[in-house]
Amino acid sequence: MKKDFILILDFGSQYSHMIARRIRDIGVYTLLSHYNDVDYDVISKKKPKGLILSGGPFSVYEKNSPLISKSIFQLNIPIFGICYGMQLISFLFGGEIKKSKYKEYGKSHLIIDHTNNSLFYGIPKKSIVWMSHFDEVKIIPKEFKIIAHTTSCNIAALGHLNKNIYAVQFHPEVKHTEYGIFMLKNFVFHICKCSLNWKLNNFVKNTIDNIKKRVNKKKVILGFSGGVDSFVTAYIIHKAIGNSLICIFVDTGLLLENEKEKIFSLCEKMHFPIKIIDAKKRFLSKLTGVVDPEIKRKVIGKEFICLFQKESNKINNIEFLAQGTIYSDIIESSVSSKNLISNSIKSHHNVGGLPTTLMKLKLIEPLKKLFKDEVRKIGKKLGLPKEILYRHPFPGPGLSIRIIGGVSEKKISILRKAENILLQELITYKIYNSVSQAFIVLLPVKSVGIKGDKRTYEYVAILRIINTEDFMTATFSRLSYDFLEKVSNRITNEVDGINRIAYDITSKPPSTIEWE
Ligand code: XMP
């Protein structure tokens, strides 16, 4: 039976994926597509129960601004426009959009003018909403009526007079919008009439059944990185096919201290069959002279594939390669041929960097439609140990993308020591579990310092510690000077090669979490 689902057309807002997560949280399957990847035909074929047009950083009047065909309004699918989505709907229906007098970012007071509409069902007349815009609708199309305003925005929400088309200038998906989740529920249940169909328990059971059927006595190798995604992937596949799964952990030489030993003992605990391949020399020699981060990723991706291919040749009856790819890997790595806006940010090695054409094995990616927090929830339900569930993510290309520019054995060793000190202090200060990711970046820049009355000329390192819900947006962690000082003192004293530490205080966006 085909599942009810909501389709979000992404116009490039940093919050688009949040809309998907919120709706999945309330129990309805939701997909996110770049606005340009789906047209009238695709939508009418896929038959979503509702369409959401996301926000985006554009002005509808700009040259090359992302537009869609007005024909989608003929499909009679309920539509909800958010921020840019609202401006787009108004524009396509002939309304007028202009720069707001004031750019508005942050909390605003919403006043509902028409309480008897389905979008605002059960929501108090006055509430707080989160705004983030520089354009706004000035003249509404004649088929619409204003259903809410704020103190600084006269047209904060619109409803079509006859069709199920709604639009809001604010962001209901952001937690600061007090009744945002109620609005999304109203849209999904009252307006689109979706049924509850997204439950992680069902997901696990169905996925195990599907894998069992698909694999059918063949063997599967799993590129095992040791993060929560690969543990959950291993768990699900192991449940489905037992020891026909072989986890392969590649020691690239770009790992954290004692990583190999930790992974080995955790796998033993979970009874996963694991094979460790020592490929330190191979990776280092391939990376020598490579400076560009994307080329580092491609080189590493290619080596992984060659190794997996070589290993698979040694195993009889092997047909599949499994990976712990999750939805955000796919969104952030995707490059749509037609897409103008959300260009590939980084080719995370488990997606974009994998030259799958070289690979004869078929791919199994059971988590590819899940967000990180959904993977953790599943892991928790499956009873995975805390040390796996709450491990900070570690990128596939490892320390190579934390060494800016050229990679060498010496630099890897410097960085590994510094990272180890950071990890120890995060644990001592009981900070590890309250931040989402913490690491050091080694710059190709030296500075003058003084150690034991002697002049030094050593590398500058950056401390990067962030908090995030989903790794798509992030803020730097506001930690005590005491902690920062301790980490800085220990690294500059104990690690030969680093004499200066700086703390990175940028958010994502505009920065990314890793430096490369
Ligand atoms: P960025 O730097 O893109 O990071 O903001 C988001 C999350 O992804 C991790 N990351 C990677 N993971 N291969 C991976 O498997 C990669 O090439 C890669 N690049 C970044 C990063 O550590 C963060 O958790």
DSSP-assigned states of every residue in 400-453: GGGB-S---HHHHHHHHHHHHHHHHHHHHTT-GGGSSEEEEEEEEEEEEEEETT
Give the residue, by CA position, lying nearest to ligand 1 atom 24: 393
Q: Determine the residue of 296, 298, 346 to mutate for testing ligand 1's pocket, defined as the one with the most ligand atoms within 8 A of the Cβ atom.
A: 346
> Which among 271, 487, 266 has a CA at the least distance from the CA of 391?
266
What pLDDT digit, counting tens, does each position of 257-272 carry?
999 999 999 999 899 9
Q: Which atom of ligand 1 lies closest to the CA of 474?
A: 5
The tens digit of pLDDT for each residue in 37-77 reads 888 888 999 899 999 999 998 899 888 889 999 999 999 99
365 tagged catalytic: no
For atom 13 of ligand 1, which residue has the closest CA? 348
Query: Domain 200-389 is in which class?
Result: alpha beta
Between the CA of 83 and the centroid of ligand 1 the distance, in Å, is 28
Contact 114, 120 (CB under 8 A): yes
CB of 98 closer than 8 Å to CB of 90: no
* Residue of 328, 513, 516 to test ligand 1 pocket, by largest number of atoms within 8 Å of CB: 513
* Partners of 322 in the β-ladder: 222, 364
CB–CB of 164/13 below 8 Å? no
Pick the catalytic residue: 173, 332, 419, 458? 173
Which of 20-34, 238-252, 331-345, 347-361 shows the lowest per-residue confidence on average (mean pLDDT)? 331-345
Measured distance CA(224)–CA(234) in Å, rounded = 8
Contact 222, 267 (CB under 8 A): no
Which residue(s) pair with 136 in the sheet? Answer: 98
Residues 6+ apart with CB under 8 A from 95: 137, 138, 139, 140, 141, 144
Nearest alpha carbon to residue 171 among 82, 91, 256, 234: 82
Going from the Cα of 80 to the center of ligand 1, the distance in angstroms, rounded, reads: 31
The sign one gets for the Cα dihedral 135, 140, 145, 150 is: positive
Pick the CATH number of 402-503 from 3.10.129.10, 3.30.300.10, 3.40.50.300, 3.40.190.10: 3.30.300.10
**Catalytic site includes residue 485:** no
Note whether 15 and 54 are within 8 A (CB).
yes
What pLDDT score does 338 carry? Answer: 38
Domains 5-191 and 402-503 share a fold: no
149 catalytic, yes or no? no
pLDDT value, residue 174: 87
Cα distance between residue 117 and residue 456, in whole Å? 70
Q: pTM of this prediction?
A: 0.77
Strand partners, 34: 10
The verdict on whether omega for the bond into residue 509 sits within 30 degrees of 0, i.e. cis, is yes
- Averaged confidence pLDDT in the chain: 90
Instruction: Tell me which DSSP letter residue 196 carries.
Output: P
Ligand 1 center from residue 509 Cα (angstroms): 14
Find the 472 Cα to ligand 1 centroid distance in Å.
10
SS3 content of the chain, % helix, strand, coil (to 5): 35, 25, 40
The number of the ligand 1 atom at minimal distance from the alpha carbon of 436 is: 24
Specify the CATH architecture of the domain 5-191.
3-Layer(aba) Sandwich (3.40)
Q: Which of 17, 34, 83, 392 is catalytic?
A: 83
Whether 467 contacts 435, CB under 8 Å: yes
Q: Which atom of ligand 1 is nearest to the CA of 516?
A: 2
Tokens of 144: 């619409």
* 280-287 vs 293-313: helix crossing angle, rounded to 10: 150
Give the binding-site residues of ligand 1, using a 6 Å CB cut-off: 297, 332, 345-346, 348-350, 393, 395-397, 437, 471, 508, 512-514
For ligand 1, atom 4, name the residue with the nearest CA. Answer: 513
pLDDT bin (cut points 50, 70, 90) of residue 343 is very low
C-alpha span between 31 and 39 (Å, rounded): 15
pLDDT tens profile 173-203: 988 899 999 999 999 999 999 999 988 878 8
User: What are the pLDDT digits (tens) for 301-325?
Assistant: 899 989 988 998 999 999 999 999 8
- Quote the ligand 1 centre to 328 CA distance (angstroms): 10
Ligand 1 centroid to Cα of residue 261, in Å, is 23
Question: Rounded to an integer, what distance in angstroms lies between the CA atom of residue 364 and that of residue 233?
Answer: 9
pLDDT at residue 102 greater than cutoff 80: no
In single-letter form, the type of residue at position 212 comes to K
What is the Cα–Cα distance from 10 to 26, expressed in whole angstroms? 20
Instruction: Tell me the average pLDDT across 452-480.
Output: 92
Which stretch of DSSP H or E encloses residue 1? none
Residue with tokens 């690491």: 439
Domain spans, the chain: 5-191, 200-389, 402-503
